[in-house]
Amino acid sequence: MPPFARTVTVRSPAKVNLQLAVGPRRLDGYHEVVSVFHAVNIFDEVVASDGIPGAGINVTMEGDGVEAVGVGEENLVFQAAKALGEYADVALDVNLHVRKDIPIAGGMAGGSADAAATLVACDALWRIGMGREELEKLAARLGADVTFALHGGTAIGTGRGENLTSALISGQYHWVFATSNEGLSTPEVYGECDRLREGRGIGDPQIREALMAGLRRGDPELVGPQLCNDLQVAAISLRPTLELVLETGMSFGALGGIVSGSGPTCAFLARDEDDALDIAAALSASGTCDSVRIATGPVHGARIVDSGTNGGSLLEST
């Protein structure tokens, strides 16, 4: 990085699907879904800085498990920078450093969070000035979870999940996440879901009204029993040990427990902060998972947290 290069740091959240209803496979290969997305305060950060003219897009990463993640054209960070640069017709010379805290391949959309952060960071670094709505349209081309990572909060996603509507919600929710060091492939989980449902008539996905009523009231006692994920059976089929993780978390007092997205992370809703601490401690002691995280939600989407130069940064927002 050249002396006093411009830098922009963006923080983007993990998500949990409070509901993931999966319909039949569409002609384009995707599935029609209804998803209730919920952003939690486990964040990845992307630091974008001026690149050497003609050097192109350079992606580096730090954090647990990043050695298993490619940083070339297949990476969503690379794809996001390229998509934005080509859309705005700017030179694709940028250094992108990703600080990972969201579990990799854990069903919490870490890669999508990084892509969303990249869009916001490069938009600011290149001084394009795209509005949030325009960025969300570009994000939808990269994936439904990318759109939500920009949006944040709690939202209902339809179509592939990219058509978002903010959900009416009150209160704060306390979560415990049981994570695994070995991820699951989202395409493989969807494929297993299709295999298990083959020959069955699958209707259009529908929102759970009882879930939405509980969110509006801000009552975790009502929300917990309504958590649901149509990919859960497929994830357990591919990783049978997840069933024991779910049973263990529920036995320690969780109000509800589900596989998060395509897994293998399992999410447990607690009554309050104290219960979350108790559930986390019990899960850790049980040996049924590799690690445990505590988080709260909802939180904002991808936001700039620092910008300026590498010689001294100016705090923009939190």
The CA distance from 270 to 292, in Å, is 14
Point out the catalytic residue in the list 15, 50, 100, 123.
15
The CA distance from 71 to 67, in Å, is 10
- Give me the helix-helix angle, 273-286 and 241-251, nearest 10°: 140
- 3 state DSSP class of 304: strand
CB 93 within 8 A of CB 54: yes
Determine the Cα angle at 194 with ends 193 and 199, to 5°: 125
Point out the catalytic residue in the list 44, 145, 230, 275.
145
Among candidate residues 127, 162, 139, the one with its CA nearest the CA of residue 12 = 139
In Å, what is the CA distance from 123 to each residue of 119, 179, 307?
6, 33, 12
- Catalytic status, residue 145: yes
The CA distance from 175 to 106, in Å, is 15
Beta bridge partners of 152: 300
- Catalytic status, residue 290: no
How distant is the alpha carbon of residue 230 from its chain centre?
A: 17
The CA distance from 305 to 10, in Å, is 6
Phi, psi of 173 (to 5 degrees): -115, 140
Tokens linked to 147: 């759109």
Beta bridge partners of 25: 31
Phi, psi of 55 (to 5 degrees): -85, -20
CB 69 within 8 A of CB 75: yes
Beta bridge partners of 42: none
How distant is the alpha carbon of residue 212 from its chain centre?
A: 20
Could you list the active site residues? 15, 145
